[in-house]
A and B are shown apart, each in its own frame.
Chain A
Amino acid sequence: MKKSYKIEVDCANCANLMEDAAKKTEGVADAVVNFMALKMKVEFEEGADPKQVMENVRANCKKVEEDCEVFI
C-alpha cells in the first residue's frame, strides 16, 4: 500500500535525512521525500497499520531534524 503525506521541512539535506529515517522505520517498505513538493510517499509493508507506522516515522524524523513536521 502506498500513501502520500504532506510534510514541512526547511532544508534539502534535512529532507534527505528524513527520507533515510523514514526508510529505516519498521513497517515501511520504501519511502521517498520530495523536497520541492513537500511530500513524503510511503510504501507500507504488508499488514502494517499506516497510522501506527506513521507515528513512528514522525518520531524518527524528529530525531534527525527537530524542525520538521509530518502531517498524518
Chain B
Amino acid sequence: MNAKQKKNLIRIAVSGAMMLALEFVPVEGLARFVLYMIPYLIIGYDILIKAFQGIKNRQAFDESLLMAIATIGAISLALYDNGDYTEAIAVMWFYQIGEWFQSYAVGKSRNDISALMDIVPDTANVEGEDGQLEEVDPDDVEVGSVIVVRPGERVPIDGVVIDGTSSLDTSALTGEAVPRTIKKGEDVASGCINLSGVLKIRTTKEFGESTASKIMELIEDAGSRKAKTEKFITRFARVYTPIVTGLAVLLAFVMPLYHIATGAPAEWSTWIYRALIFLIMSCPCALVVSVPLSFFAGIGTASREGVLVKGASYLEALASTKTVVFDKTGTLTKGVFDVTGIHADDIDKDMLLHMAAHVERHSSHPIAVSLRNAFAHEADSCSVEDVEEFAGQGVRAKVNGKVVYAGNEKMMATAGVETHGCENEPVGALIHVAIDGKYAGHIIISDVVKDHSVQALKELKKAGVRQNVMLTGDVKEVGERVAKDIGIDRVCTDLLPQDKVAKFEEILKERKDENEMTAFVGDGINDAPVLRRADIGIAMGAMGSDAAIEAADVVLMDDDPLKIPTAMRIARKCMAIVRENIWFAIGIKVVCLILGAVGMANMWFAIFADVGVTVLAVLNAFRCMFVKGIKPENV
C-alpha cells in the first residue's frame, strides 16, 4: 500500500464513520445540511477539484466531473425533497472505495506479476585486482570483466564460467524445474540462480544485451502490442461515456417536457434522479481496466512456464490457432542422429557396432559421431589402420587385422559384397557393414523423436487445433513413417529449406476463415522467413539465440514441445476471461441502465453497476495467473 492509498483509506474510514454517526443525530434544516457536508467533502474534495479542472480543460466527459454532477445533483434533490443526503454521500463513498480497490488490486498484481518475472538482478559482484569483491551496478560492467556469483544469487550478465562448478536453477528462463550442472568452460545465461558453489564468470555481453535484460524488455513491451479486444474496448469506452451522458440529459430534460406536452405532471425530480443514475454508470472503468490486466496476467503466467509471448495480440491469436505447422528437425525430433537399431547377420550385435565404430574413428561426419557415441568403448586398444574414406559412400579400415567396410549400398558395391535391405522398413539411414569380404549386417541411424512430441500433439488437438502439419526435408517414406508414428495429420516431404515458405503459404491459403490462425514452430535456425510469414511464429529452444527471439512472436525458452499446448492453454483461458469480463461488465451496465431509466433502480444499484462490476472484473482477471502448465506423461 503506498502513501496515497493509505491516505484514501483513512478518508474512507473517517467519512464512513461520520455518516453512520449522523444517522443518530436529530438535526433538521440547514444545520443538518452543513453537518452532512463534512463527510461529503472529506470523501469527495479531490473529485470536486478534478471536476473543476475538467471544466477548465474542457473535458466534458471527465469521470470526476460526471461524478461531481451526479452527487451534487443528488444533494440538491435531497435539499429540495426530504433532506436525505445519505444516498449522495454514499455514492461518492462507494465510488472512492471502488477507486481504492482498483488502485490497490492493480498495484498488487503489478508487483506480483513483476516479481514472477523479475529475473534481472540489481547488482553484480566484480572481482577487483586485489581479489576483493566490489558490488557495482551491472550496467557498468564491461564485456570481459570477471564477476563472482555466490550461491543463492542470480547471474546478472551472460558469460563463460572460468572457475567453479555448481548447479543452476534455470526455471526463470526455461520453466524447467531440474537444476542444471555447470562447470568451467561452459556458457551461463543471466537470470539463472546459482544453487551450490561459487562461480567466477567472464562476461561475454553487456548487461543490456544479456538474456535476462532482453527477456524483461520483451515482456514489458508485450503490453504495448495491443490485442484486438483491447482496441475494441478502448473504442467502446470512447463512445460509451458520451452516449450515456447524452441519454442522461435526455432523461432529465426531454422526458419532463414530453410529459408537460402530453398534459401529464412533469415530475422533474423523478427524471433528474434517473438521469443522475445514468451519470454514475457512465464510467467505463470496469471494462477498460480488466482487459489489459487479464492480458498482463496471462503473459506473466506464460513466462513463468518458460514461454515468452511478445504481445497481447499474439496471446489472442494463439487462442484461435487452428493449424500448427512444425518444422520436423529440432522441434518434434531432437535433430541429432542416434543408433536406433542393429541388425546383425551372423555376428554378435555388439561386435557389429564395435567394428563400425572403429572404422569411423577418425571421421567427423554426423553419422560417424553417432556411431561412436553409441559404442561406449570406442577408445579401446583395438588397432585401426589404413583408414580410407570414399566420398558419398563410406569408410574402409583395417580393424585388428580385419578389413571392414562401413557405408551405404554403393560402398558395399565397391567392396564387392552383396547386400540385402532391412525387413522392418526402418525410419532412417542404413549403415551396411562388411567384414573380410562378407556382409555382416546393418545399423540403423535416425533422428530421434523427442520424449514429449506425441503427448504435445495430442494436447494440441485437445486445445482446439484442427490440423498438425509437419514440414521436412526427409524423403517421402521416412517422413510419412515419422508422421504416422507420432500422430501428425499431414506431412510435406522432400522440401528444400527454400521451399518451406512456399509450402507454408499454400497451407495458409487453405484456411476457410480469416480468424483461424496458423502457427509455425521452428527451432530458429534457418527458418526465420517462415517464422515471420506465420500468423504466430513460435521459436523453440531459443535461449541465447538472438535471431530467433527477433523473428518469432512466441519464444519457448527450452525445446520441449509440450510448451506449445501449455501456451495455448494459457492463451485460451486468458481470452475466455477477457470475453467473460466484457460481456459481464457491458451486460450488467446495460441492465442497470434500463432499470434506471424505467425507475426500477436507485443509486445503490448504479453504484453496484459501477464499482461492484469493476471489483468482480479485476478479481476475475486474476484467474489468468492460476493456469498450470501441462505435466509430461511418463514415457
Contacts and interface: CB of A to CB of B under 8 A. Distances in A.
Nearest to A10: B103
B223 interface: yes
Interface residues of B, number: 29
B220 A34 contact: yes
| Chain A interface, DSSP helix/strand/loop, else mixed | mixed
Interface string B17-47: 0000000000000000000000000000000
A63 B224 contact: no
A66 interface: yes
Contacts of B237: 13, 16
Given A11-B99, A12-B289, A41-B224, A63 B284 contact: no
B99 A35 contact: no
Top 5 A-B pairs ranked by shortest CB distance? Answer: A12-B289, A36-B296, A34-B223, A12-B288, A63-B57
Nearest to B63: A13
B223 A36 contact: yes
Interface string A1-40: 0000000001111101000000000000000101111110
A14 B99 CA distance: 12
Interface in B277-296: 283-285, 288-289, 292-293, 295-296
Contacts of B234: 16
B223 A37 contact: yes
Interface string B208-242: 00000000000011011010000000100100000
Given A11-B102, A16-B234, A64-B59, A39 B292 contact: no
A12 B285 contact: yes
B362 interface: no
A67 interface: yes
B619 to A, nearest CB: 15
A5 B394 CA distance: 62
B53 A13 contact: no
Contacts of B288: 11-13, 16
| Chain B interface, DSSP helix/strand/loop, else mixed | helix
Contacts of A64: 57, 59, 62
Given A13-B285, A36-B106, 19 more contacts: A11-B285, A11-B288, A12-B288, A12-B292, A13-B283, A16-B288, A32-B226, A34-B221, A35-B223, A35-B289, A35-B292, A36-B113, A36-B223, A36-B292, A37-B224, A37-B296, A39-B220, A64-B57, A66-B50
Interface residues of A, number: 18
Nearest to B291: A12
Residue among B103, B106, B113, B223 with the most chain A CB within 10 A?
A: B223
Contact of A63 (B59, B102, B106, B292): B59
Nearest to B110: A36
A22 to B, nearest CB: 13
Contact of A13 (B223, B284, B293, B296): B284
A38 to B, nearest CB: 8
Residue among B99, B284, B289, B295 with the most chain A CB within 10 A?
A: B289
A67 B4 CA distance: 12
B32 to A, nearest CB: 32
B227 to A, nearest CB: 13
B293 A36 contact: yes
A56 to B, nearest CB: 15
Contacts of A34: 220-221, 223-224, 292
26 contacts: A11-B99, A11-B103, A12-B106, A12-B285, A12-B288, A12-B289, A12-B292, A12-B293, A13-B63, A13-B284, A16-B237, A16-B288, A32-B224, A34-B223, A36-B110, A36-B292, A36-B293, A36-B295, A36-B296, A38-B110, A39-B220, A39-B224, A41-B221, A41-B224, A66-B50, A67-B50
Nearest to B46: A67
A11 B289 contact: yes
Nearest to A13: B288
A64 B110 CA distance: 24
Nearest to A40: B224
A38 B106 CA distance: 11
Contacts of B50: 66-67
